[in-house]
Amino acid sequence: MFSSLENSMIFFPTKDIAVTPEAYGFAYEDVAFEAADGTALHGWWIPADDARGELLFFHGNAGNIGDRLESIAIFRRLGLTVFIIDYRGYGKSQGSPSEEGTYSDADGAWTYMTDTRGVTPERTVMFGRSLGAAVGARLAAKHDCAAVILESAFTSVPDMASSIFPLLPSGLFVRTSYDNRSLMKDIKAPLLIAHSRHDEIIPFSHGRELYELATDPKDFLEMKGGHNDGFIVSGSSYVDGLRAFLDRHLPTPGG
């Protein structure tokens, strides 16, 4: 019961996908695949013209893939084909979300990209925002890839609980971990951590701590704006920061 209650305070899935890439004029494929534990999942494969790589996109804890089209548009302009998935319980994916479940979902997405699509690690970029940064970090700690981008990431769920409820012993009642802090040393691919000083949900200090713990090569991109709109408010500085990072670790578009 307590696990179910805790999950309901962390995951806020929406089942109805209100907007598809078609609304942006993007060709796409509906993808049905399985998590590592066999749960039926759904995602979109959204190709970019003259793609220089493929980006595996892990979104945050609310909504579904239909809420991420503005981000997808940015990555396509940067020359990346996007594979975005819905975790179990989100959108058209089956099951109910949990920490271990999202890890299994990520493992299944990796298998789909590498085995079914034949994408090589040298062309793969892992991207995660907010809770998705924890899912992506765990996968990046297990597999080689060309680059990793973690945006608006927290150090761990217990740390977040402590910042929200400073008088409560969070270690005694929080069972979900998403321990990004312990994963930083195991990510060997070039890493970009992006965070805003004005993030009202996940403190800027979390992003800076993860950056300090990470191994080289690594970069830090300071954003503007709030937790959910920082990539929009930051505008060209955000896009230029992503482009500079990708240019160092991937071929230029069409190259």
Q: In what order do the strands lie in the sheet with 124-129?
A: 29-34, 40-46, 80-86, 53-58, 124-129, 147-151, 191-196, 218-223
104 is catalytic: no
Catalytic residue among 86, 107, 159, 199: 199
C-alpha dist (Å) from residue 22 to 46, 62, 115, 171: 10, 22, 27, 45
pLDDT tens-place string over residues 190-229? 999 999 999 999 999 999 999 999 999 999 999 999 999 9
Catalytic residue among 198, 205, 227, 229: 227
The answer to whether the pTM exceeds 0.75 is yes
Using CA atoms, how far apart are residues 65 and 54, in angstroms rounded to an integer? 17
Residue 239, token pair as written in the block: 């896009």
Domains of the chain by residue range = 2-249
pLDDT at residue 251, rounded to an integer:
77
* H-run or E-run covering 81: strand 80-86
Active-site annotation holds for 205: no
Q: What is the SS3 string spanning 8-69?
A: HHHCEECCCCCCCHHHHCCCCEEEEEECCCCCEEEEEEECCCCCCEEEEEECCCEECHHHCH
The correct CATH number of 2-249 out of 3.40.50.300, 3.40.50.1820, 3.40.120.10, 3.40.50.2300 is 3.40.50.1820
130 carries an active-site annotation:
yes
Q: What is the pLDDT of residues 141-182, one digit of tens each?
A: 999 999 999 999 999 998 887 766 554 555 546 678 999 999
* Residue whose token pair is 């670790």: 249
Instruction: Give every CB contact of residue 73 below 8 A, 6+ residues apart in sequence.
Output: 24, 26
Catalytic residue, chosen from 71, 93, 98, 130, is 130
Side-chain half-sphere exposure of 176, counting CA atoms within 13 A: 26
